[in-house]
Amino acid sequence: MTTSPLMPAWGVDHLPTLLAHCRRCGTYTFPSNAWGCRECGDDTLDKVPMPQTPRLRNFITVYGDVAPGLTSPVVVGEVEIAPGVVEEALIAVADESQLKLDMPMEAIGADSADTQRGLRFRPLKAQR
Amino acid sequence: MSRLLQERAVHVVGIGMHPYQFPSETPYVHLGLTAVREALKDAGLQWPQVQAAFVGTAAIGMAAGRVMLRHLGSTGLSVTQVENASASGSSAFRLACQAVASGEHDVVLAVGVDKTGHARRASGSDGLSTLSPTSNLPVAKFALLARRYLRDGGLNIEALARVAVKNHGNASLNPYAQFRKPRTLEQVLASPKVAGELTVQQCCPRGEGAAAVIVASAAAIARLGLSRTRSPRVIASVSISEKLGRGDVPPIVQMVRDSSLAALEQAGIAASDLNMVELHDAFSIEEIVYGEAIGVSKPGEGAHDLARGDTAIGGRCAVNASGGLIGMGHPIGPTGVGQIAEITRQMRSEATGRQHPNTRLAMAHMIGLGSVAIAHVLQKTD
Ligand SMILES: [Zn+2]
């Protein structure tokens, strides 16, 4: 796998396979090891990287220590990682002032190409 | 179900509550029995006359029903435990209605009872990972929804905080509520921030309690000499789960829309006919968004209607006259059953201190993690 021109590197030289792509209906499902297609239920799924530059669709700051492993305050966003797939994700910025709605994002910090563990998003370099 | 409830009338003949409260050492058996005994007394029924029981609970553990109900006498009735997250009690009530509507039974109990702290969520056991530790956390999801709603409507945080002011005010008049203090707009806004625009006082508390409702057929009401006029009729019962989002409407909002519309169609009424709605306001934003989805308010006008008093007790359609989840509390298992108890009390004009005038048609709407939605419509009996 090579780095897509749309997708900046995030520390290693290939992209995390975040999604499952349905051979039957073409729908993307998150995460890549989902047990079936969220649209049609078929289980012939291919593990694929994000097919587009992720976009920030919404964001907030979480203030309380509301979940294990979460040190607040932290910025949480809704990131569209594939057509119609909008996932809550940690946004690696100091505060919301660096963010604009619908801005392109890049993925950073995953432990390996096969996992989204540790993965966060930040504004694409040109936007920062 | 749609025709069943029209063919064989199901009435709420008895209601009982154990007040919702902060976590305590009180055994759940005491909480539940308090509510059931109050409901039996309210209906004028003896325990052996109850033929089946559905027990809504999310956190107590297996076989909560018989362990609790045996203290009323071992009659051999059918006992079924129901877990459906926040909608556990609503689902227990729905099954009780079905048991009567189907003709299998004549007198059936739905009881919700819960303790705080032992519930485990299946979402952590599906073998899949998420991108954020908040992904299965309602407060983050609803804070994001709130941010979107305020942005789209050009509204400020006060629009949300007014939900909490109204519902804490209603709860202060409800002897079964967990919170009994009215809160000002300033207090709600000054309470600690949790996520986005949501402050602590815009979020439901953790708690425990119990609620019980007894439903019966019209034949049983006549045969057992129960009060018909104190027994509202259940004219719709709907249960659905979430579908994938389409367009700009968040899936959970579409689910509320679909479930409430189906319930209104089943009842043969319009949203504008509703005098009262009890709904899932675990977070302030939910009341505004669901009010619009149900049709209590026109799209985009929920915050405006609230500010004008349309959804207050005495307004056009009272929303969460009980105090809702924010004020009355949200002990999970009891919550949906408590909604039915509140509506019944209001239809009987027995909601002393918080009586909404002329309640004839009301909806109880509940959602649960996952997500599921349960909607019931009740009609006053003349
Ligand atoms: Zn498919």
B193-220 pLDDT per residue, tens: 999 999 999 999 999 999 999 999 999 9
Contact, B214 vs B13, CB < 8 A? Answer: yes
Please report, as a single letter, which amino acid is at residue B68: M
**Higher confidence at residue B126 or residue A8?**
B126
The pLDDT score that the predictor gives to residue A108 is 85
The pLDDT score that the predictor gives to residue B112 is 98
Inspect the interface and report whether the beta carbons of A63 and B193 lie closer than 8 Å: yes
Contact, B136 vs A70, CB < 8 A? Answer: no
Choose the weakest-confidence range: A20-29, B130-139, B157-166: B130-139
Residue-level length of chain A: 128
On the question of pLDDT at A14 being above 90, the answer is: no
On the question of pLDDT at A91 being above 70, the answer is: yes
User: Which residues on chain A place their C-beta less than 8 Å from a C-beta of chain B?
Assistant: 30-31, 33-35, 38-39, 58-64, 66-70, 76, 78-79, 84, 86-90, 101, 115-117, 119
Measured distance CA(A7)–CA(A56) in Å, rounded: 15
> Mean pLDDT throughout B306-331?
98
Please report, as a single letter, which amino acid is at residue B2: S
Cα angle B282-B286-B292, degrees, rounded to a multiple of 5: 150
- Classify residue B377 by its DSSP letter: E
HEC profile for chain A?
Answer: CCCCCCCCCCCCCCCCCCEEEECCCCCEECCCCCCCCCCCCCCCEEEECCCCCCEEEEEEEECCCCCCCCCCCEEEEEEEEECCEEEEEEECCCCHHHCCCCCEEEEECCCCCCCCCCCEEEECHHHC
B197 chain-A contacts, CB cut-off 8 A: 60
On the question of pLDDT at B161 being above 80, the answer is: yes
Angle between helices B284-294 and B157-171 (to 10 degrees): 90
Tokens of A82: 């594939």
